Structure 1
Amino acid sequence: MARLAIIGSAGAMGAALRQIIEASEHIYVGGADHGDDVAALAKDADALVDFSAPQALEANLSAARDADIPIVIGTTGLSEAHHRLIDEAVERIPVLQTGNTSLGVTLLAHLVREAAQRLGPDWDIEIVEMHHRRKVDAPSGTALLLGEAAAGGRNIDLGAYRESGRDGHTGARAEGAIGFAALRGGTVAGEHSVIFAGEQERISLSHSAENRSIFARGAVRAAEWLIGREPGRYAMTDVLDL
């Protein structure tokens, strides 16, 4: 049994998280949103689960450090500066940061890495994602997570090979590129496909999220797993022991 607190509790993910926590053996100790005292909330919790906004990350990490408790960060749209803040925090507390807390997506990323490594650079890689009309960042955190997995399989830097937003006369596809396409519309919770296109054949690895509860369920499992760990930076692959 763990005492869990939600940062970003007023959002759709916050509501899904509270429902999963209250239906489990764990205790929901409260939530915090813009302007609320996260530090006070952290003192009553065994772990924080953060699905708020990038601009709140520094304060949220500080609250977790001061309370000496772990934090699961599912907030997307993080910059390099945010990742540097996480790197500083993990010297004192355990932090699990991910672009997607779904256990299914975690396994998908593992398969993408394996496929990219085994198929080699002769196979072109394209990542297609679709989300609801209200999503504000693109590509999605999950698409970037899958891109990082593909790049890791090839032992290359994603930033140097990433292609997105193609429009007009772009010329031939760059050799070794990892392409991204983002679709927005309706109420889609999340759909991702990684396409490996070779000579005369294609392989597609896909995941469809039917409800936000899958992300909430994975986040709660991650928080439960993170409690009691040594300070450091962790990922969902650690939760599944991949």
Structure 2
Amino acid sequence: MTSTSSPTTPLRVAVAGASGRMGRMLVEAIQNSGDCVLTAALDLPGSPALGMDAAAFLGQTSGAVIESDLKSALSKADFLIDFTRPQGTLAHLAVCAQLGVKAVIGTTGFSEEEKAQIAAFAQQTAIMLAPNMSVGVNVTLKLLEMAAKALDTDYDIEIIEAHHKHKVDAPSGTALKMGEVIAQAQGTQLQDRAVYERFGHTGERKENTIGFATVRGGDIVGDHTVLFAGTGERIEITHKSSSRSTYAQGSLRAVRFLASQNTGQFDMFDVLNLR
């Protein structure tokens, strides 16, 4: 991909949830980038961070003051990066569509109806939606696609994920994406194969199912393992995150990708040319 930016035309980026863990990681990544500039920062009404410079925690000045006025903030930016909650993200996207602001969405936990709303917004502006922005995770998804095609019979599939104790949705969006990629590679739909709960006398494992196991505890950033269990052997494909910085760097790659798009919905496979 050819870069669309230069030192004299920085990409103007707004960050939602700017005072949160992921928001601060995004602010730091933007501050350290050579082609992006933080022009707006959003947080909820009542946040103690309102009125502060978004980069104050770094001992720096970005010029972007954290605010809660959505239209005011987005009018100063060409791109929004959002890792918040579904309801908030949808409200943000409605204004992005209205103003023509392009959006990089890392929020997870959307319902099918909410995903349809995002697709509708993508007819008005460019949206990159992915449950995980990590370059490594998306390469892992490609590996899973390859493995699923080769191991389409006689292998039981289990997806095990672990995250910090504050995560509110389960299984993780990344785990669900892994299941979707595997199911699609085998010509099926995840909704027809997923098993999310096991308790009590479950009986033997049903053939052709994809099982999920969830761990929540401590400060685990994100661990995902997909197990292909056959007779006499098993294959495990694992990705472990030790820092949210990988998500921030992937988000900036998505911003650069969207710079050359006008409308449409994309994912990290598009950004990384993994189709």
Q: Fold conserved (TM > 0.5)? A: yes
Backbone CA RMSD of aligned residues: 1.1
Q: How does 1:17-28 map to 2 (within 5 A)?
A: 17-25=26-34, 26-28=36-38
2:209 to 155, 177, 181: 177
Q: Which has the larger radius of gyration?
A: 2
Tell me if 1:2 matches 2:11: yes
- The secondary structure found in structure 1 opposite 2:159 is strand
- Show structure 1 runs of 5+ residues with no match: none
**1:132-169 CA distance string (max 9 Å, x none):** 11111110011011111111111111011001121111
Between the two proteins, the alignment pairs up a number of residues equal to 242
Q: Is the 8 A contact 1:7 1:38 kept in 2?
A: no
Q: How does 1:12-51 map to 2 (within 5 A)?
A: 12-25=21-34, 26-35=36-45, 36-51=68-83
- The secondary structure found in structure 2 opposite 1:168 is coil
CA drift at 1:91: 1.0
Q: Is the 8 A contact 1:57 1:82 kept in 2?
A: no
One-letter code aligned to 2:138: T
1:208 to 230, 236, 240: 240
CA drift at 1:82: 1.1
Tell me if 1:146 matches 2:156: no
CA distance in 2, matches of 1:9, 1:132: 20
CA drift at 1:57: 2.5
Q: Is the 8 A contact 2:97 2:122 kept in 1?
A: no
CA drift at 1:209: 0.2
Q: Is the 8 A contact 1:4 1:45 kept in 2?
A: yes
Find runs of 4+ consecutive structure 1 residues off by over 6 angstroms.
none
Alignment partner, residue 231 of structure 1: 263
**1:30-57 CA distance string (max 9 Å, x none):** 2112242222211111211011111112
CA drift at 1:230: 3.2
One-letter code aligned to 1:66: Q
CA drift at 1:99: 0.7
- The secondary structure found in structure 1 opposite 2:118 is helix
**Which has the bigger relative contact order, CA under 8 A and spacing at least 6?**
1
- The secondary structure found in structure 1 opposite 2:148 is helix
TM-score (structure 1 length as normaliser): 0.97
Percentage of matched positions with identical amino acids: 40
CA distance in 2, matches of 1:191, 1:72: 22
Judging by fraction of residues, say which structure has more helix: 1
CA distance in 1, matches of 2:71, 2:116: 21
CA drift at 1:79: 0.8
CA distance in 2, matches of 1:78, 1:34: 20
Q: Is the 8 A contact 2:128 2:265 kept in 1?
A: yes
One-letter code aligned to 2:106: G
Q: Is the 8 A contact 1:121 1:154 kept in 2?
A: no
- Show structure 2 runs of 5+ residues with no match: 1-9, 46-67
- The secondary structure found in structure 1 opposite 2:76 is coil
Tell me if 1:61 matches 2:90: no
